[in-house]
Structure 1
Amino acid sequence: MIPHLLIPHAAARDQHDQSLWPAQVPRELPHLSALLPLMSVAEQVDAGPECPSMPYELVLAALLGLPASEGQIPWAALETRTTGQPCGWIRPCHLQVGSDQVRLGVPEQLDLQEAESRALFEAAQPYFEEDGIALRYVMPHAWLAMGEPLRGLTTWSLDRLAGRPITPAVLHFSGHPEALRWRRLQNEMQMLFYAHRVNDDRQQRRLPLINALWVTGAGLLEALPPPAPQVQVENRLQASALALDARAYVDAWQAVDGDSVARLLAEARRGTPVRLTLAGEQRAITLVASRASAWQRLTRLFASRPSLALLDTL
């Protein structure tokens, strides 16, 4: 198998669309800086802010043999090995409601405990069942929903929306025949959670209130896909990118460069045909390195080769 390293959030932008860390200095990422000139661009996937899925999700779905329609990648079905029925993740979340916009808080920053999540789950479950949606507790920050109202539902990646303003079209499931049902459920959950004892306790502890549920990763798998190619998904940049924590993001990138990228560089230098996918918020670029002939090595000296500047195009 060809080693393939996929790095989501290889570039990240803040609320003003400025690079969280414009990595231009070779000494900051020495292994990536040495690896990129050995590679050439093989594929590019564009998926800007109007796309419900992140670019890395589209790439990964294709690699795993999943349906890769935008906003309809069946992550919940894959991760729970559920086949033959539509399903999706229900994520407890915090909506920050302002005078002119609504923002989705970063779920991982909620510090939601299992007892809290189970209490909210038990309160919400009967409402979902009344609408023909089976709800199963899986983990504190994710419950599994199953049923026909999820069929064909376009859902937005939390990586795309966390910490960002949410448009009414996204919030209200515009364009789906079950939009009214989902909007009603959203409203019921907001009212239900508003007076729930879990939020009374969280308010006393000065923690963000759980005031909404978010549907994501919905889709249908008729059968589980065959085993995937050898691909390593490097997720260490995600938390700091979503939190817009520049210092932690720099530290995470340098840690990734020091081991995952360093190992791929060593393989490339041994002549192993390796692949690297760097993904940001706008696009994912896949590069390949293969054993080069003497003539290819010579022509590389005079050709334009990828560099760290590639990160700023993501």
Structure 2
Amino acid sequence: MPAPDVKEAPLPHWIVPFAASLSEPCVQALSRLDAADALPHWSELWGLLEETGRLHADEYALSMPHERVLADLLGWAETGDALADGALPWAAWWAHHDGVTLTPDQYWGQLTPCHWLMGRDHMTLLDPDSMGITAADSRAAFEAVRDLFESDGWTLLWGAPTRWYASHASLAGLPTASLDRVIGRNPDVWMTDHPQARVLRRLQSEVQMVLYQHAVNDRREAAGLPTINSFWLSGCGLPGRTATLPAGVTVVDHLRASLLADDMPAWLAAWQEVDASVLAPACARLKAGQPVKLTLCGERSAVTLTAAAPRGALGRWWQRWRGVTAARPASWLAEL
């Protein structure tokens, strides 16, 4: 009798966005991770891993490093179109997961309702996930601005409280900055000078006027919540690309909210959670002779680390030496 086919378990691959940033608060906080008890599994794991891949751009790229890693895993670069910076079709990806059907031969973008905070010298885009936008508030704002878009030839669909979907001919080939690039920063700086972006600037101004003193924002102000006064467009592209990550891939989002908010005590605590929930089981797998894969992503780079198989006594000595010299995370993470 032939032996039954046994499927191997997928290789675990943890992807950790926001492992570091170039912001001054983060630069100052990084050294705290060097404390002996800060990340107890770091040095143990680092002696068993080696760098096997690196994606690098700069902090001004429209697409985040972790987005480029995920796009590669989804096989988007193999579908025939060159995926230029700022041209990753995340709108279609999220629409699929929101259960929204998009017309396949049209370009779609993701509209994120948000708050542009007016400061003395510039604006700042608040993290929409921190605004407490309910489905009711989102739908009310959506219906309030819908005619602005549709009267201009757009198609607008509601997907989730912080995800609306828009289609228009002007989105074809339009590069846009990732929302994660813009949160906590001046959105004007991240609006590209592409000719088709002029349409967006006009719509953003008109949306601000429509939502100013709208009933939904009166209620939000009375509740002490930020108003919904604008939107951000991102993730433009055609539907139809792969929407499911390979088996074994886990995106670890523990660090995102605190880093975008420059809340360093919360970010350091989140790193300890990553150490316990990701690095600890990774150590256990490697000790058991099972491989793992880890990708750490910052503002500029994404670095992939995999198990390094020691070769004899010299190889084991080299692993131990690497563990000692790479045990301090601050300098290593600062390169991301």
C-alpha deviations, 1:5-57, integer Å up to 9, x for none?
11111114545663444311242111122111211111222232211111111
Supply the RMSD in Å over aligned alpha carbons. Answer: 2.2
Provide closer, same or farther for how the CA distance between residues 43 and 61 of structure 1 changes in structure 2, counting only shifts above 3 A.
same
C-alpha deviations, 1:184-243, integer Å up to 9, x for none?
111110111113111122222222121111112222244436762521110111111111
**Aligned residue for 1:297?**
316
Provide closer, same or farther for how the CA distance between residues 15 and 104 of structure 1 changes in structure 2, counting only shifts above 3 A.
farther
- 1:195 matched to 2:213? The reply is yes
What letter matches 1:54 in structure 2? Answer: M
Q: What TM-score comes out, normalization by structure 1 length?
A: 0.91
Q: State how far apart, in whole Å, the 1-side matches of 2:241 and 2:188 are.
A: 34
Query: Structure 2 stretches of 5 or more lacking a match?
Result: 1-9, 78-82, 97-101
Alignment of structure 1 residues 194-273 onto 2, 5 Å: 194-224=212-242, 228-273=246-291
- 1:72 matched to 2:104? The reply is no
- 1:8 matched to 2:17? The reply is yes
Q: Secondary structure at the match of 1:58?
A: helix
**Aligned residue for 2:39?**
29
CA deviation after TM superposition for structure 1 residue 301, in Å: 4.3
Provide closer, same or farther for how the CA distance between residues 2 and 91 of structure 1 changes in structure 2, counting only shifts above 3 A.
same
Task: After superposing the two structures, state which structure 1 stretch, 143-152 or 238-247, moved more.
Answer: 143-152
Task: After superposing the two structures, state which structure 1 stretch, 220-229 or 185-194, moved more.
Answer: 220-229
C-alpha deviations, 1:138-176, integer Å up to 9, x for none?
1111111123222112111121121123344x23x312x
Task: After superposing the two structures, state which structure 1 stretch, 297-306 or 98-107, moved more.
Answer: 297-306
Q: What TM-score comes out, normalization by structure 2 length?
A: 0.85
Alignment of structure 1 residues 73-152 onto 2, 5 Å: 73-81=88-96, 82=102, 83-152=104-173
- 1:310 matched to 2:332? The reply is yes
Q: State how far apart, in whole Å, the 2-side matches of 1:289 and 1:216 are.
A: 36
Provide closer, same or farther for how the CA distance between residues 226 and 257 of structure 1 changes in structure 2, counting only shifts above 3 A.
closer
Q: State how far apart, in whole Å, the 1-side matches of 2:264 and 2:193 are.
A: 34
Query: Structure 1 stretches of 5 or more lacking a match?
Result: none
8 Å Cα contact 2:19/2:333 also seen in 1: yes
8 Å Cα contact 1:133/1:149 also seen in 2: no
Q: Secondary structure at the match of 1:218?
A: strand
Q: Secondary structure at the match of 1:201?
A: helix
Q: State how far apart, in whole Å, the 2-side matches of 1:228 and 1:107 are.
A: 28
8 Å Cα contact 2:114/2:232 also seen in 1: yes
Q: State how far apart, in whole Å, the 2-side matches of 1:46 and 1:27 are.
A: 31
Q: State how far apart, in whole Å, the 1-side matches of 2:108 and 2:198 are.
A: 18
Identity of aligned residues (%): 37
